[in-house]
Every structure is written in C-alpha cells, then in structure tokens.
Structure 1
C-alpha cells in the first residue's frame, strides 16, 4: 500500500477500523490506490451513514415518538 494512502487512512479512524474488518480492501488499495473513494463509500454503507440510512433512522424515531404519544393519550383517556 502506498504511503500517502496509508497516512490518509491513519487520519480517519473509522476507515482504519473498516479496513481491519474488511481485509479484502488491503489488496484492492495495494493494487489500485484510486480505489480509496470506493473504500470510503463502502465504509459509509457498512456503518449505515448514507443519507437513506439516516432518513430511515430519523423516520423510525418519529414513528416511535408517535406511538408513545398515542399510548399516553389512551392511558389518559382510561384514567
């Protein structure tokens, strides 16, 4: 692996962790350092940090809050 690629990875702990968990990327980056952008994209998908993942997480939070509000309303009506 080229030194500049390795230094870049060392600066980003999350990418280093991903690299340790997915060792196939060592070979890919060793053969083609331009794959660094693809590594970053794969890490975003792996850690579920893409925009669709974030929207889904937010939506689930809103659903949970809505369900809790409904439960409290039902509990208050029964009292």
Structure 2
C-alpha cells in the first residue's frame, strides 16, 4: 500500500477500522490507490452514516417518542 494512503487511513479512525473489518479493501487499495473515494462511500454505508440512514434513525426516534406520548395519554385517561 502506498505511504500516503496508509497515512490517510491512519488519520481516519473509521476508515482504518473499516479496512480491518473488510480486508478486501486493503487489497483493493494496494492495487489501486485511487479507490479512496469508493472506500469512503462503502464505509459510510457500512456504518450507516449516509443521509438516508440518518433520516431513518431520526424518524424512528420521533415515531418512538410519539408512541410513548400516546401511551402516557392513554394511561392518564384511564386514571
């Protein structure tokens, strides 16, 4: 692997961990160091840090809060 690619991975904790968990990326980067952008995109999908994943996570949180509020309202009405 090229020195500059190794240094870049050393600086990026998430990418370094991703390469450890997905060793095929080490081989890909060794053969073609221009694949860094693809590595970053794959890492974002793997760790679910893309915008659609974040929106889904936020939506699930709002849905959970709404359900809890309706449960509390139902409990208050029964009392």
* C-alpha deviation, 1:73, in angstroms: 0.3
Moved over 4 A (4+): none
Aligned residue pairs: how many?
A: 79
- 1:27-38 maps to which residues of 2 (within 5 A)? 27-38=27-38
Question: 1:62 offset after TM fit, Å?
Answer: 0.2
**Which 5+ residue runs of structure 1 have no aligned equivalent?**
none
Could you state the TM-score of these two structures normalised by the residue count of structure 1? 0.99
Which residue of structure 2 aligns with residue 46 of structure 1? 46
Report how far residue 71 of structure 1 moved: 0.2
TM-fit CA distance, 1:50:
0.2
Cα distance per residue 1:29-61 (max 9 Å; x no partner): 011100000000000000000000000000000
Task: For 1:19 and 1:53, locate their aligned partners in 2 and report how far apart those are by CA, in whole Å.
Answer: 21
Aligned to 2:61: 61
How far 1:23 sits from its partner (Å)?
A: 0.1
Task: Give RMSD over aligned pairs.
Answer: 0.3
Unaligned runs of 5+ in 2: none
